[in-house]
């Protein structure tokens, strides 16, 4: 697919004909309230996207916690929470209220300022991440032309929160947890970013809207999704693994490995600060899921999505469906796999994922420059498969294999 | 053999091999309140970064004076207390004590009762092994899924225990010379039903776990117990068999009717955590075989030796040691009877978990903190037994 | 980390199957939503003990417990506390005044049920017993512990019907033995001392030792002798002797309720409403210790020993009262403290008597 961005998208304007970009809320409001003062419309156009993000995504977070508990319960042959409201619908509200009314315990020798700021720094970057995720055709809270770069910069900022939490608690276990968390998050940034680079190379822009639009078209708006390309599939896997590690989800939930170091960096937190940590973690995972969807799963594209009101609504629907799928995948994996150990995690990141992501970038190069489509497919796929085999053999821990056993005589 | 650190060495700086960086060791106490120490158990670890340099297990938080209590009660009176030793498997504890007393008093157990005892013991073995694997995976981080599958099966067996003996866990079922009440035909049919479904559950369990790469990476080559050390430290049970020691009391002593039942004993070679996990899976399969044979061959007959009195039961002076292959290892009771003969003069329990725990430090040295928890899980301890 | 994530994938399939199956398959959703749904506990399930009574109109009078204190002794954590009910004159009634079970101590081991000779204490299966306090609220006292036989049959039908059948059989056996003796016996006659006929039956008995000794109907004994003899034989042949000729109940001093049935196959107890008529005038639990000893001023040591005991025939010692006395006198039993209802008073008196006998 040849893609020349310059002919299609002028800088910072509407993505395509007839879209309703939230950044152009100002212009839309102007058409509706032609006589209103400028300042009012300006501030409204700033506040509405913020309200949108603040209303929708924490709500998704709240119900993700419920869905996760019920889904884990069903996987484990039990019903999840179902006492608070029918099917447990009011459970997140109950949890929030409970955590709000809990006593806020701060260890006497803890560093109070850092202790206070750590949860805040955990949550804010996660919310900021949502501002570049397009939820519908042309609908993104902030249309940055450096969207992906912004996303990675902001997600890295949340690493600080882990370390601040662990340090400020003055607790050996927390410190252990914090050190492990930082090591993990930092190592998984690299293959994640490099996997995203592949997508950026193809699209030619860092803007999330353009990445989304690049995946439209094709049969039913589906076949152009990057996940259906060889390099896109590998990139998707790499990015998903990186995203799970970034937000400390199982199998990478070492920062809060309950069974070893109780709760890691948030051991000493209670009440709403703890809730904020949880919120930060879940929001980060939802946001990274959102970015994965944007970059690989076609963002809002699906049958029926397109410009206009109806198309816009349908595209929003598709986006949330895909987001739900990614969250469900996270929950499914959480319910199934045990945790990896911290040094194995590092080995995995540096020895397998990082080389694989570099190989992926080269594969994109092949894809771009081989003009005959079928040949491009074959060569790229072969390249990726061969390198995967080589790297996994090299990175494999020795002696790890199923065994057979003998019986005593 | 790695020497454990003495007190002075604990707080000194550890020198890196190249002598470049001097770091400090961190002394951490894992437990006694900890989600994964299987009870109130403490481990004083000295860590160099993440690696364990020294480890001292501290036990005794659950000490309940079991042995002393038995000295003031009649022989039968300490039978309910043996339930609470290894509170996970009460039937084998009861059997070990009953066996010791029967040896001392020279009581012969009727055939039917022996078969019932074997059935109960093997059911206990199944439920213990499946839950131990579940707990180990819980420690590994699989949030409860294998554990709850194991508990689902355990519930069925516990329901059977309740129907037969009256209580799910603290069964108090064995008596000197047999069992307290008989297993009716209905109970035997329930047992057969449970066993017919169990292999399917085991297959599903194995599919979930045995070839899981994360599990393999986490448990292989971790916590290796060499065969020499296992023998020297008198390790018993699946832990010893995983290290290559071919010793199973059911085959050696042939107590009960094990002499007549055909089953194999799986033995591992390396003795790491994965071996211990997989030996338990194989043992579960063997237990199913034993159960099928026992349920098929069970004869009719009395369920308890009629000459044994419940009250004023006196044993001639002497001493004796009776042991069984409990799911955790060799559970033995050493009893001394004196002139009066109505109470034990000395009553000592040889708990497998306690003895198996003595090798914890040797297995953990050089591994990471995360491995300590898994190694502890694979030893399969129950604090009721360790501390009595 | 491995070549292909095959194991990982298989694991995911298993969990997916469980997830989907939990909506359709009963096996895969095992939650029982308590308290709306409850698991039906099996019949044998046991939680805490309770006392059985037979008649709803007067639970206290018809309860089967005779306060023999065997359960108190045998209880491993010692959670039972019993005080025998005595009337105004200090005469013990065959029932407990105080029967406390501390449910916070009770191990639910069921040993009290196994050792009770009178089928009086049984295990309940009620598990919803939480209280608002931790100490006194958890101690169950006598009125709460009494539950009817109908309740027992409801919660444990098989067990209850077996117990009922056993009790009925014993009562019938006792009634059969009581009938001929009552017909042959004149009422309210002061019994001649059992000293004179004692030696003859003793030798006769000694020459015929057996487990089951039945005195033939045409044997030349008077009814008093017959009664004494069968008692003696039952003591000698521990475990399977026939019933004594039951002393008829006389109007005098019928104190106890008639439900003290012995579960052991040893000698059927002389009904505790025994009158001074018969060979054992002291065999009345209503008499005090000194009164009994005065009545038993015979040369026979066994009589004096028997008089020192509590006269309940509860088999706490493993025999009935006569049997225990004979065993001590004969040397078969050396433990003098087995009489549980008699407590320390009996033990001390037995010791004194034995010392006197040893000196004599």
Which residues fall within 8 angstroms of residue A378, CB to CB, at 6 or more apart?
none
Interface contact A408-B221, CB threshold 8 A: no
What is the percentage of chain A residues whose pLDDT exceeds 90?
Answer: 16
Helix, coil or strand: residue B274? helix
What is the percentage of chain B residues whose pLDDT exceeds 70?
Answer: 93
Answer whether A84 touches C (CB < 8 Å). Answer: no
At A322 the pLDDT is: 92
How many other CB atoms are there within 10 angstroms of residue B4's CB atom? 15
At C359 the pLDDT is: 61
At B4 the pLDDT is: 54
Pairing of strands C92-102, B344-350: unpaired
Within a domain: A392? no
Point out which residues pair with A407 in neighbouring strands.
B266
For residue B178, what is the DSSP state? E
Res C345 pLDDT > 80: no
Most confident of A161-175, B257-271, C22-36, C203-217: B257-271
At A24 the pLDDT is: 61
At C182 the pLDDT is: 58
Res B46 pLDDT > 80: yes
Q: Residues in chain C whose beta carbon is closer than 8 A to a beta carbon of chain B?
A: 1-2, 5-8, 10-11, 13-15, 18, 30, 41-46, 70, 74-76, 107-111, 114-115, 123, 318, 338
Interface contact B162-C1, CB threshold 8 A: no
Within a domain: A188? yes
Residue B102 burial by Cβ neighbours in a 10 Å radius (0-12, 13-18, 19+): buried
For residue C245, what is the DSSP state? P
ipTM reported for the complex surpasses 0.85:
no
Q: Which two tokens stand for residue A14?
A: 């509407």
Res C187 pLDDT > 50: no
How many Å lie between the alpha carbon of A75 and the closest alpha carbon of chain C? 4
Q: What is the pLDDT of residues C46-89, one digit of tens each?
A: 889 999 888 888 878 888 888 888 888 888 999 999 888 877 87
A322 close to A293: Cβ distance less than 8 angstroms:
yes
At A211 the pLDDT is: 85
Supply the mean pLDDT for chain B: 85
At C353 the pLDDT is: 80
Q: How many whole angstroms separate alpha carbon C213 and alpha carbon C225?
A: 15
Q: How many whole angstroms separate alpha carbon C304 and alpha carbon C295?
A: 9
Most confident of A13-22, A375-384, B46-55, C292-301: A375-384
With cut-offs at 50, 70 and 90, classify the pLDDT of residue B311.
confident
Nearest by Cα to B331 from B172, B94, B113, B117: B94
One-character DSSP codes across A64-130:
HHHHHHHHHHHHTTS----SSSGGGTTHHHHHHHHHHTS-----TTS-HHHHHHHHHHHHHHHHHHG
Supply the mean pLDDT for chain A: 81
Across the interface, of C18, C107, C115, the residue whose CB is closest to B310 is: C115
How many other CB atoms are there within 10 angstroms of residue B371's CB atom? 22
Q: How many residues are listed for chain C in this entry?
A: 360
Q: What is the pLDDT of residues C88-142, one digit of tens each?
A: 877 777 788 889 999 899 988 889 998 888 888 999 888 888 889 888 888 988 8
At A4 the pLDDT is: 37
Interface contact B141-A75, CB threshold 8 A: no
Interface contact C23-A74, CB threshold 8 A: yes
Q: Which domain holds residue A230?
A: 8-385
Most confident of B102-106, C115-119, C219-223: B102-106
Cβ burial A21-51 (10 Å sphere, 16+ → b, else e): bbbbbbeebbeeeeeeeeeebeeebeebbee
Which residue bears the tokens 């929001």?
A283
Q: How many whole angstroms separate alpha carbon C348 and alpha carbon C329?
A: 16
Res A290 pLDDT > 80: yes
Q: How many whole angstroms separate alpha carbon B239 and alpha carbon B227?
A: 10
Q: What is the mean pLDDT of residues B112-117?
A: 92
Res B55 pLDDT > 50: yes
C-alpha dihedral (A148, A153, A156, A157), degrees to nearest 10: -140
Q: What is the pLDDT of residues A305-317, one digit of tens each?
A: 777 778 778 888 8
Res A260 pLDDT > 80: no
Q: Residues in chain A whose beta carbon is closer than 8 A to a beta carbon of chain B?
A: 72, 75-78, 172-173, 176, 180, 250-251, 253-254, 257-262, 334-344, 397-403, 405-409
Res B6 pLDDT > 60: no
| Least confident span in A158-167, A217-226, B2-11 | B2-11
Within a domain: A303? yes
Res B334 pLDDT > 90: yes
At B139 the pLDDT is: 82
Which residues fall within 8 angstroms of residue C295, CB to CB, at 6 or more apart?
C276, C281, C282, C287, C307
How many Å lie between the alpha carbon of B212 and the closest alpha carbon of chain C? 4
Residues of B in contact with A399 (CB under 8 A): 220-221
For chain A, the domain total comes to: 1
E strand segments, chain C: 49-53, 80-86, 92-102, 121-123, 139-140, 146-148
At C125 the pLDDT is: 85
Res B374 pLDDT > 90: no
Within a domain: A400? no
Res A84 pLDDT > 90: no
For residue A352, what is the DSSP state? I
Q: How many whole angstroms separate alpha carbon B63 and alpha carbon B85?
A: 10
Res B125 pLDDT > 90: yes
Number of H helices, E strands in chain C: 13, 6
Crossing angle (nearest 10°) for helices C6-24 and B185-209: 140
| Residue among B38, B212, B214, B263 with most chain A CBs within 10 A, to mutate | B214
Give Dmax over CA atoms of chain B in angstroms: 77
| Residue among A175, A341, A347 with most chain B CBs within 10 A, to mutate | A341
Point out which residues pair with B15 in neighbouring strands.
B22
Q: How many whole angstroms separate alpha carbon A111 and alpha carbon C217?
A: 100
Within a domain: A207? yes
Within a domain: A353? yes
Q: How many whole angstroms separate alpha carbon B60 and alpha carbon C211?
A: 53
Answer whether A74 touches C (CB < 8 Å). Answer: yes
Supply the mean pLDDT for chain C: 71
Q: How many whole angstroms separate alpha carbon A225 and alpha carbon A305?
A: 14
At B122 the pLDDT is: 92
At C235 the pLDDT is: 59
At B93 the pLDDT is: 92
Pairing of strands C80-86, B344-350: unpaired
| Least confident span in B87-96, B373-382, C213-222 | C213-222
At B310 the pLDDT is: 79
Within a domain: A402? no
How many Å lie between the alpha carbon of C127 and the closest alpha carbon of chain A? 23
Q: How many whole angstroms separate alpha carbon B353 and alpha carbon B350?
A: 9
Structural domains of chain C ordered from first start: 49-164 (3.30.70.3270), 208-359 (no CATH)
- Rg over alpha carbons for chain B, rounded to the nearest Å, is 22
Q: What is the mean pLDDT of residues C206-220?
A: 55
Helix, coil or strand: residue B348? strand
Within a domain: A404? no
Point out which residues pair with B52 in neighbouring strands.
B47
Measured at the CA of C123, the angle between CA C121 and CA C128, to 5 degrees, comes to: 130
Q: What is the pLDDT of residues A363-402, one digit of tens each?
A: 998 888 888 888 888 888 898 889 888 888 887 665 556 6
Which residues fall within 8 angstroms of residue A327, CB to CB, at 6 or more apart?
A64, A67, A285, A286, A289
At C237 the pLDDT is: 55
How many other CB atoms are there within 10 angstroms of residue C187's CB atom? 12
Which residue bears the tokens 């319910």?
A335
Interface contact C1-A397, CB threshold 8 A: yes
């Amino acid at each position: 697919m040849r893609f020349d961005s310059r002919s299609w998208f002028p800088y910072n304007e509407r993505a395509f004909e007839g879209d309703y970009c939230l950044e152009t809320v100002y212009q839309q409001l102007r058409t509706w309230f032609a006589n209103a003062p400028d300042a009012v419309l300006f501030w409204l156009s700033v506040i509405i996207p913020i309200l949108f993000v603040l209303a929708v995504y924490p709500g998704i977070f709240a119900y993700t916690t419920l869905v996760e508990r019920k889904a884990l319960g069903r996987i484990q042959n039990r019903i999840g929470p179902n006492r608070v409201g029918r099917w447990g619908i009011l459970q997140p509200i109950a949890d929030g209220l409970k955590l709000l009314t809990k006593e806020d315990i701060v260890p006497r020798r803890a560093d109070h300022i850092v202790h206070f700021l750590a949860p805040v720094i955990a949550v804010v970057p996660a919310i900021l991440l949502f501002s570049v995720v397009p939820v519908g055709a042309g609908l993104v809270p902030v249309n940055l032309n450096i969207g992906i770069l912004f996303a990675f910069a902001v997600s890295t900022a949340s690493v600080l929160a882990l370390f601040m939490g662990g340090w400020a608690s003055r607790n050996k276990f927390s410190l252990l947890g914090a050190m492990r968390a930082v090591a993990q998050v930092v190592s998984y940034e690299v293959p994640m970013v490099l996997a995203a680079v592949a997508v950026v190379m193809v699209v030619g822009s860092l803007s999330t809207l353009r990445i989304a639009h690049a995946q439209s078209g094709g049969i039913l708006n589906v076949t152009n999704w990057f996940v259906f390309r060889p390099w896109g599939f590998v990139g998707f896997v790499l990015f998903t693994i990186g995203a799970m590690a970034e937000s400390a989800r199982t199998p990478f939930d070492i920062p809060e490995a309950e069974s070893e170091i109780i709760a890691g960096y948030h051991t000493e937190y209670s009440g709403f600060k703890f809730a904020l940590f949880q919120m930060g973690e879940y929001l980060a995972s939802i946001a990274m899921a959102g970015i994965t969807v944007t970059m690989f799963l076609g963002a809002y594209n699906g049958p029926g999505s397109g410009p206009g009101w109806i198309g816009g609504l349908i595209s929003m629907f598709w986006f949330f469906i895909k987001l739900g799928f990614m969250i469900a995948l996270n929950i499914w994996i959480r319910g199934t796999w045990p945790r990896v150990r911290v040094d194995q995690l590092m080995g995995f990141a540096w020895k397998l994922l990082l080389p694989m992501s570099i190989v992926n970038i080269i594969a994109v190069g092949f894809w771009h420059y081989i003009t005959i489509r079928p040949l491009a497919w074959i060569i790229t796929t072969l390249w990726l498969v061969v390198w995967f085999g080589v790297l996994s053999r090299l990175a494999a821990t020795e002696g790890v294999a199923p065994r057979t056993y003998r019986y005593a005589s | 053999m790695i020497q454990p650190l003495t007190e002075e060495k604990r707080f000194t700086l550890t020198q890196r091999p190249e002598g470049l960086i001097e770091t400090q060791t961190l002394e951490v106490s894992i437990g006694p309140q900890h989600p994964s120490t299987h009870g109130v158990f403490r481990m004083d670890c000295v860590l160099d970064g993440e690696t364990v340099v020294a480890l001292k297990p501290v036990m005794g938080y659950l000490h309940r004076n079991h042995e002393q209590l038995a000295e003031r009660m009649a022989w039968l009176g300490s039978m309910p207390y043996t339930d609470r030793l290894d509170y996970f498997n009460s039937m084998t504890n009861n059997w070990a004590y009953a066996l010791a007393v029967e040896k001392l008093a020279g009581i012969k157990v009727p055939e039917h009762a022996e078969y019932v005892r074997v059935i109960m013991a093997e059911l206990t073995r199944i439920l213990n092994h499946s839950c131990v694997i579940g707990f180990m995976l819980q420690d590994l981080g699989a949030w409860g899924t294998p554990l709850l599958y194991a508990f689902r099966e355990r519930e069925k067996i516990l329901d059977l225990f309740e129907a037969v003996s009256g209580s799910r866990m603290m069964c108090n079922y064995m008596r000197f010379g047999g069992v307290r009440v008989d297993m009716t035909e209905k109970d035997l049919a329930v047992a057969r039903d449970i066993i017919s479904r169990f292999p399917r559950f085991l297959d599903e369990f194995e599919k979930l776990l045995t070839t899981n790469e994360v599990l393999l990476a986490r448990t292989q080559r971790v916590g290796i117990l060499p065969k020499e050390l296992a023998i020297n430290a008198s390790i018993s049970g699946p832990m010893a068999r995983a290290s290559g020691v071919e010793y199973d009391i059911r085959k050696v002593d042939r107590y009960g009717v094990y002499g007549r039942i055909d089953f194999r004993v799986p033995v591992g070679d390396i003795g790491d955590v994965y071996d211990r996990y997989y030996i338990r899976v194989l043992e579960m399969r063997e237990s199913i075989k034993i159960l099928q044979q026992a349920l098929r061959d069970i004869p009719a007959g009395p369920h308890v030796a009629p000459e044994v009195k419940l009250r004023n039961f006196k044993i001639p002076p002497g001493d004796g040691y009776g042991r069984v292959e409990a799911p955790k290892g060799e559970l033995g009771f050493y009893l001394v009877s004196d002139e009066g003969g109505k109470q034990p003069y000395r009553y000592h329990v040889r708990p497998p978990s306690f003895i198996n725990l003595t090798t914890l430090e040797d297995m953990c040295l050089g591994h990471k903190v995360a491995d300590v928890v898994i190694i502890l899980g694979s030893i399969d301890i129950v604090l009721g037994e360790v501390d009595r | 980390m491995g070549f292909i994530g095959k194991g990982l994938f298989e694991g995911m399939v298993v969990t997916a199957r469980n997830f989907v199956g939990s909506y359709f398959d009963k096996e895969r959703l095992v939650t029982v939503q308590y308290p709306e749904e409850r698991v039906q506990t099996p019949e044998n399930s046991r939680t805490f003990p309770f006392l059985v009574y037979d008649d709803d109109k007067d639970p206290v009078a018809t309860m089967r417990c005779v306060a023999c204190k065997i359960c108190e002794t045998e209880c491993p954590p010692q959670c039972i506390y019993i005080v025998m009910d005595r009337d105004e004159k200090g005469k013990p009634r065959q029932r407990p005044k105080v029967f406390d079970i501390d449910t916070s101590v009770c191990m639910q081991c069921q040993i009290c049920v196994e050792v009770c000779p009178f089928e009086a204490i049984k295990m309940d299966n009620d598990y919803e017993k939480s209280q608002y306090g931790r100490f006194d609220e958890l101690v169950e006292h006598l009125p709460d512990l009494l539950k009817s036989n109908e309740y027992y049959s409801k919660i444990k039908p098989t067990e209850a019907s077996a117990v009922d059948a056993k009790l009925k059989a014993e009562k019938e056996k006792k009634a059969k033995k009581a009938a001929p003796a009552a017909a042959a016996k004149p009422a309210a006659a002061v019994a001649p001392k059992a000293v004179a006929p004692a030696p003859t039956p003793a030798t006769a008995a000694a020459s015929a030792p057996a487990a089951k000794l039945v005195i033939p109907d045409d044997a030349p004994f008077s009814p008093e002798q017959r009664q004494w003899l069968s008692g003696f034989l039952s003591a000698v042949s521990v475990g399977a002797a026939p019933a004594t000729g039951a002393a008829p109940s006389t109007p005098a001093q019928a104190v106890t309720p008639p439900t003290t049935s012995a579960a052991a196959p040893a000698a059927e107890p002389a009904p505790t409403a025994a009158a001074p008529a018969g060979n054992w005038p002291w065999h009345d639990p209503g008499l005090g210790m000194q009164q009994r000893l005065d009545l038993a001023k015979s040369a026979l040591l066994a009589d004096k020993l028997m008089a020192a005991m509590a006269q309940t025939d509860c088999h706490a010692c493993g025999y009935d009262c006569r049997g225990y006395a004979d065993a001590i006198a004969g040397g078969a039993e050396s433990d003098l403290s087995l009489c549980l209802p008699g407590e320390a008073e009996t033990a001390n008196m037995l010791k004194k008597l034995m010392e006197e006998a040893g000196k004599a």
